[in-house]
Chain A
């Protein structure tokens, strides 16, 4: 299950408020006096509201960066991308996952990653080693195009030798045709 950053932020805010409430009830003396003060200043039966803040461009950018970082942190939890049969091209749906990893590697130039290429069981083991490497290579190329230095990435192809699902059907094959990023 995934939450959007906004939902996550509001959850954080609510829990912070709950914490504050807890601490005020536990501290009887100060809590009571504060409530008295606010009541005496604002009178009875009023309620205050606030307008939405208009962010300055700098704040806007900072927030977007923050959101993107959070989204990328989420995406980086995904370390496996899948391929079509006898094919090594990166499917569109995995572009953002790789972008997230690339972003991380660019910001952490000392980090290295091993990119494993895997295939399904069809075809000969030797051919599949070559195909697995082609998959790893296309991940490396893609990440390089996003600014990751070649020295941060190494490839290893396991071909059909390390299937995730040891079965002979389309579903199993689809899960076995993959590249895995190992930090």
Chain B
């Protein structure tokens, strides 16, 4: 009976309700000067008194953090239009140099429910076709106007304001870049609160560090959180029984299941893109090797067999091969193994050694930890050209994880003698830090699209 289902309902459900003390806040360290200007007009509130929520604050932060956009300061806006029809003069917006203007309105719909409607306007196009704006009599029915890049109206619960703001960011980002936004995603990570009775915590927060929730607290180390492709479960390594074991935990129901408890190392779980298999590292037969387990049958297949270290398996997006770190050539380098033919090929050659490789969502690049001259930095390498680019200059960088749209990498680094999370854009231009209030934060794993 390997399938041991452990439900620590009491413990974990009480944890879920806690506000984690590991909330992160983002400090941008470089890269906003290359970003494109955009105008984000505070949404008009039709009710009395204070607006119930500052949507545009969240949207501005999201867009800044994408590294692609720089909202211009609110005091420089020529006016505060509530929608496209309110914009009387497109040229004064065009002359700001912005490529788009986000306008919106919030009104009370029912108790605790609000109607949010917004439009993303191209002022240059509006300047050209300016006369069209007179056709708009009814708010929101504007899809035929080609100067309006996107526009939507939804009824939103007060409890979902922040989530909806991220949704707006996704829409704006996709309209302007052609690439899906990843603002409505989450990050799982390990938080270590020194001197606490149970110092090791598995936490899930929004991608921006908000809404952090503790999914598990343990007196012994927790490692390697990995998302299921549907974003509902996490696999991770726990030492709660004084040995490494792989667990799977549902992030909503708190149901928890021990997947493996082989002698010696049980590590580095990685879900296959179709969610049916788990790649992992086991050393039950001697040296650490890569294995793949079928999650339905629990059948285990050994993928690599080498007397030196093989570790850190990650799937290629097509699910047909794994990249992994191996010492078989002397120093650690990233290799790729074809799961059908078992053929192994080395794929990294830059610097002294390379570890922790992950394939980008488009399958066209590899992000890894590059060790050169004693320093560990995040670097990117393209397939098949082999172009190699170091991305970070922080120190002791490790555990890179890529946003599902491939735009950004989150990783763990040292800052002020503490382990913190940091962000770097795929081109290295934008860099930010997510310091925690206390303790070490590590092993970030970016969720899939939710």
Which of the residues B194, B223, B263 comes within 8 Å of A166, measured between beta carbons?
A: B194
Q: Mark B223-234, 1 if CB is under 8 A from A, else 0.
A: 110000000000
Which of the residues A124, A159, A161, A162 comes within 8 Å of B355, measured between beta carbons?
A: A124
Interface presence of A61 (CB below 8 A): no
Please tell me if the beta carbons of B417 and A167 are within 8 angstroms of each other in the complex: yes
Residues of chain A with a CB closer than 8 A to B440's CB: 166
Which of the residues A129, A161, A162 comes within 8 Å of B265, measured between beta carbons?
A: A129
Distance in angstroms from B348 CB to nearest chain A CB is: 13
Which of the residues A130, A134, A158, A168 comes within 8 Å of B396, measured between beta carbons?
A: A168
Given A125-B442, A127-B309, A127-B325, also A133-B398 (CB < 8 A): no
Interface presence of A157 (CB below 8 A): yes
Most buried by B among A114, A123, A134, A156: A123
Distance in angstroms from B101 CB to nearest chain A CB is: 44
Interface presence of B312 (CB below 8 A): yes
Please tell me if the beta carbons of B399 and A125 are within 8 angstroms of each other in the complex: yes
Please tell me if the beta carbons of A124 and B417 are within 8 angstroms of each other in the complex: no
Residues of chain B with a CB closer than 8 A to A127's CB: 309, 311-312, 325, 332, 355-356
We find that the number of chain B residues with CB closer than 8 angstroms to chain A is 36
Please tell me if the beta carbons of B243 and A123 are within 8 angstroms of each other in the complex: no
Q: Mark A149-162, 1 if CB is under 8 A from B, else 0.
A: 00000111111011
Please tell me if the beta carbons of B281 and A126 are within 8 angstroms of each other in the complex: yes
Interface presence of A139 (CB below 8 A): no
Interface presence of A131 (CB below 8 A): yes
Residues of A94-121 at the interface with B, using a CB-CB cut-off of 8 Å, are 114, 121
Interface presence of A122 (CB below 8 A): yes
Please tell me if the beta carbons of B264 and A155 are within 8 angstroms of each other in the complex: yes
Residues of B269-325 at the interface with A, using a CB-CB cut-off of 8 Å, are 281, 283, 288, 309, 311-312, 325
Please tell me if the beta carbons of A122 and B281 are within 8 angstroms of each other in the complex: no
Residues of chain A with a CB closer than 8 A to B376's CB: 122-123
Q: How far is the CA of A168 from the CA of B268 in the complex (A)?
A: 24
Residues of chain B with a CB closer than 8 A to A168's CB: 395-396, 414, 417
Given A130-B288, A156-B242, also A124-B398 (CB < 8 A): yes
Residues of chain B with a CB closer than 8 A to A166's CB: 194, 417, 440
Q: How far is the CA of A7 from the CA of B264 in the complex (A)?
A: 44
Which of the residues A123, A134, A155, A161 comes within 8 Å of B239, measured between beta carbons?
A: A161
Residues of chain B with a CB closer than 8 A to A126's CB: 223-224, 267-268, 281, 311-312, 325, 356
Q: Mark B113-137, 1 if CB is under 8 A from A, else 0.
A: 0000000000000000000000000
Please tell me if the beta carbons of B309 and A125 are within 8 angstroms of each other in the complex: no
Q: How far is the CA of A131 from the CA of B283 in the complex (A)?
A: 12
Please tell me if the beta carbons of B239 and A158 are within 8 angstroms of each other in the complex: yes
Distance in angstroms from A32 CB to nearest chain B CB is: 64
Please tell me if the beta carbons of A133 and B221 are within 8 angstroms of each other in the complex: no
Interface presence of B369 (CB below 8 A): yes
Instruction: Output the nearest chain A residue to B241 by Cβ-Cβ distance.
Output: A156
Please tell me if the beta carbons of A133 and B243 are within 8 angstroms of each other in the complex: no
Given A124-B398, A126-B224, A127-B355, also A156-B243 (CB < 8 A): yes
Distance in angstroms from B48 CB to nearest chain A CB is: 53
Please tell me if the beta carbons of B281 and A124 are within 8 angstroms of each other in the complex: no
Distance in angstroms from B322 CB to nearest chain A CB is: 13
Q: Mark A17-58, 1 if CB is under 8 A from B, else 0.
A: 000000000000000000000000000000000000000000
Please tell me if the beta carbons of B311 and A129 are within 8 angstroms of each other in the complex: yes
Which of the residues A121, A130, A161, A167 comes within 8 Å of B281, measured between beta carbons?
A: A130
Distance in angstroms from A181 CB to nearest chain B CB is: 14
Which of the residues A121, A125, A154 comes within 8 Å of B224, measured between beta carbons?
A: A125
Please tell me if the beta carbons of B398 and A129 are within 8 angstroms of each other in the complex: no
Distance in angstroms from B307 CB to nearest chain A CB is: 11
Interface presence of B244 (CB below 8 A): yes
Residues of chain A with a CB closer than 8 A to B264's CB: 133, 155-157
Interface presence of B443 (CB below 8 A): yes
Residues of chain B with a CB closer than 8 A to A130's CB: 265, 281, 283, 288, 309, 311
Q: How far is the CA of A157 from the CA of B265 in the complex (A)?
A: 7
Q: How far is the CA of A114 from the CA of B244 in the complex (A)?
A: 14
Leading 8 A-B pairs by shortest Cβ distance? A161-B221, A130-B309, A124-B356, A130-B288, A126-B312, A124-B355, A126-B268, A126-B311
Q: Can you identify 8 A-B contacts, CB atoms within 8 angstroms?
A: A129-B265, A130-B265, A130-B281, A130-B311, A156-B242, A161-B239, A166-B440, A167-B417
